[in-house]
């Protein structure tokens, strides 16, 4: 279980009231990346042929693998300490998440821990109650300001995780342009289309899954069943469950709440690749 420190107030006053193109200090590259992804999909009629079923399956498979890296490694293991992964599975999961555009382990963890520390308050960096749906879905990524890793990452500030920051830009270049070595059609579906899909699917957790009543018990977080297939049944859509007990490695609690992320951790634990796997005291 991770103890979350209370944050300092953001130095950026009400950034959701600024024009959407305004960027917090140091976040122009994030804005540029998101703009490039969206503009790239407009090239589809000019550079692509009809994709084969195998190509589409590969694109969705890579997106799902990246999502698994985010939910198992970034979210459950690193952000909440709900499990400890062996390096032999942690490393490829981090790599998959980064190739999917999820950022580095330290920046992802810092932002997420800040969110939990102040969920549904004015300091929540991604709450829809601050700036509305699109603020929570996308704009906070380049306008809220990065949560300080020194304050929120604690024992993760080690070379094992810090070196990923140096790899972020090369990995994104490979992820975006690499499929050009196959064909323009492969580039579009395995590059910008896949990356844009992965971006918006992850962002639905901050937006759609936080559209509940912030004044109710448990806050604005919601379990959104219809999002399950869009998250490849990996469990992130059971978001109220997660906010009720963030240290629980299993997010889908009921038998019908499918949670492939938890199944992955359970498989790792069986083979000794995941230890200290946390479960809620109230779990059945």
Mean pLDDT, range 24-30, rounded to an integer? 94
For 284, other C-beta atoms within 10 Å of its C-beta total: 7
Digit-coded pLDDT (tens) for 226-280: 999 999 999 999 999 999 999 999 999 999 999 999 999 999 999 999 999 999 7
Digit-coded pLDDT (tens) for 174-183: 999 999 999 9
Tell me whether residue 60 is exposed, middle or buried, using C-beta atoms within 10 angstroms of its C-beta: 0 to 12, 13 to 18, 19 or more: middle
CB burial readout 250-278, b (16+ within 10 A) else e: bbbbeeebbbbbbebbeebeeeebbeebb
At residue 166 the predicted structure's pLDDT band, cuts being 50, 70 and 90, is very high
Q: What is the mean pLDDT of the chain?
A: 91
Lowest mean pLDDT among 38-42, 127-131, 202-206, 258-262: 127-131
Angle in degrees, 0-180, between the axes of helices 28-40 and 192-206, rounded to the nearest 10: 120
At residue 212 the predicted structure's pLDDT band, cuts being 50, 70 and 90, is confident
Digit-coded pLDDT (tens) for 71-109: 999 999 999 999 999 999 999 999 999 999 999 999 999
Phi-psi region of 245 (alpha: psi -120 to 50; beta: other; left: phi over 0): beta
At residue 153 the predicted structure's pLDDT band, cuts being 50, 70 and 90, is very high
**The pLDDT of residue 3:** 54
**Which residue in 254, 260, 224 sits closest to 239, CA to CA?**
224
At residue 282 the predicted structure's pLDDT band, cuts being 50, 70 and 90, is low
**pLDDT(217) > 90:** no
**The pLDDT of residue 140:** 94
At residue 49 the predicted structure's pLDDT band, cuts being 50, 70 and 90, is confident
Q: Which residues pair with 84 in a beta bridge?
A: 275
**Which residue in 179, 198, 168, 231 sits closest to 34, CA to CA?**
198
Mean pLDDT, range 102-126, rounded to an integer? 90
For 168, the token pair is 């972020």
Mean pLDDT, range 171-190, rounded to an integer? 95
**For 73, which DSSP code?**
I
**The pLDDT of residue 283:** 57
**The pLDDT of residue 270:** 97
**Which residues lie closer than 8 Å to 44 by C-beta, 6 or more apart?**
188, 193
For 34, the token pair is 């998101």
**The pLDDT of residue 9:** 41
């Amino acid at each position: 279980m991770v103890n979350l420190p209370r944050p300092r107030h953001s130095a950026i006053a009400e950034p959701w009231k600024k024009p959407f193109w305004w960027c917090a200090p140091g976040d122009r590259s994030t804005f540029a990346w998101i703009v490039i992804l969206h503009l790239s999909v407009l090239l589809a009629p000019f550079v692509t042929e009809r994709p084969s079923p195998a190509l589409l399956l590969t694109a969705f498979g890579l997106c799902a693998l990246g999502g698994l890296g985010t939910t198992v490694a970034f979210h459950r293991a690193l952000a909440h300490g709900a499990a400890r992964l062996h390096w032999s599975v942690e490393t490829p999961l981090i790599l998959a998440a980064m190739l999917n555009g999820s950022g580095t382990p330290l920046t992802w963890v810092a932002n997420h821990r800040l969110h939990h520390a102040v969920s549904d308050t004015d300091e929540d960096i991604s709450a829809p109650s601050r700036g509305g749906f699109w603020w929570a879905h996308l704009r906070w990524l380049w306008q809220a300001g990065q949560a300080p890793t020194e304050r929120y990452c604690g024992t993760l500030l080690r070379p094992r995780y810090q070196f990923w920051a140096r790899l972020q830009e090369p990995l994104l270049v490979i992820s975006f342009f690499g499929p050009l070595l196959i064909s323009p059609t492969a580039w579009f579906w395995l590059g910008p289309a896949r990356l844009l899909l992965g971006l918006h699917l992850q962002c639905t957790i901050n937006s759609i899954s936080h559209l509940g009543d912030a004044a109710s018990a448990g806050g604005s977080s919601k379990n959104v069943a219809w999002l399950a297939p869009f998250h490849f049944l990996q469990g992130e859509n059971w978001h109220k469950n997660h906010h009720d007990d963030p240290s629980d490695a299993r997010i889908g609690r009921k038998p019908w709440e499918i949670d492939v992320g938890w199944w992955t951790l359970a498989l790792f634990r069986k083979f000794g690749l995941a230890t200290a796997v946390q479960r809620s005291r109230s779990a059945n």
